[in-house]
Amino acid sequence: EVELVQSGAEVKKPGESLKISCKGSGYSFTSYWIAWVRRVPGKGLEWMGLIYPGDSDTRYSPSFQGQVTISADKSIRTAYLQWGSLKASDTALYYCALPSGGYSTPFDYWGQGTLVTVSS
């Protein structure tokens, strides 16, 4: 059974760094892209980018390019989303998701979400 398990909720101050994780199981981790999606209350869902853990090929939405870093460690079947300097506007619920059909396919598996709160 395919499963994506994300790390727990985080409360951070503006300017702090953060790395959240998404561990995949039940499938060949290096053979499928993993995407990150943000949900901001009142703004719906936003696709941030995705990574192919097999060769670390990474694509970003222009809205998030330079704002976050997506990475993966295939030895522990885990993808990451990280910030170097958080802003209050990064407060959101973040999901990892798996398009099991390949690059241009819908997200049929989702993690449970990681709530990130940035507040002074």
Q: Which is nearer to another protein, 46 or 73 (CB)?
A: 46
52 binds another protein (CB under 8 A): no
Question: Which 3-state string (H, E, C) describes 35-81?
Answer: EEEEEECCCEEEEEEEEECCCCEEEECCCCECCEEEEEEHHHCEEEE
Tell which one of 44, 66, 75, 120 touches another protein (CB under 8 A).
44
25 binds another protein (CB under 8 A): no
Q: How far is the CB of 58 from another protein (least distance, A)?
A: 12
27 binds another protein (CB under 8 A): no
Say how far apart CA 77 and CA 89 lie, in whole Å.
Answer: 29
54 binds another protein (CB under 8 A): no
Stretch that binds another protein, among 13-21, 42-50, 67-75, 76-84 (CB under 8 A): 42-50
Helices (H) and strands (E) in the chain, counts: 0, 11
Site for another protein in 86-105 (CB under 8 A): 95, 97, 99, 104-105
Closest CA to 109 of 118, 100, 101, 117: 100
The two tokens of residue 7 are 């790390």
Q: State the residues that interact with another protein by CB under 8 A.
A: 35, 37, 43-47, 59, 61-63, 95, 97, 99, 104-108, 110-113
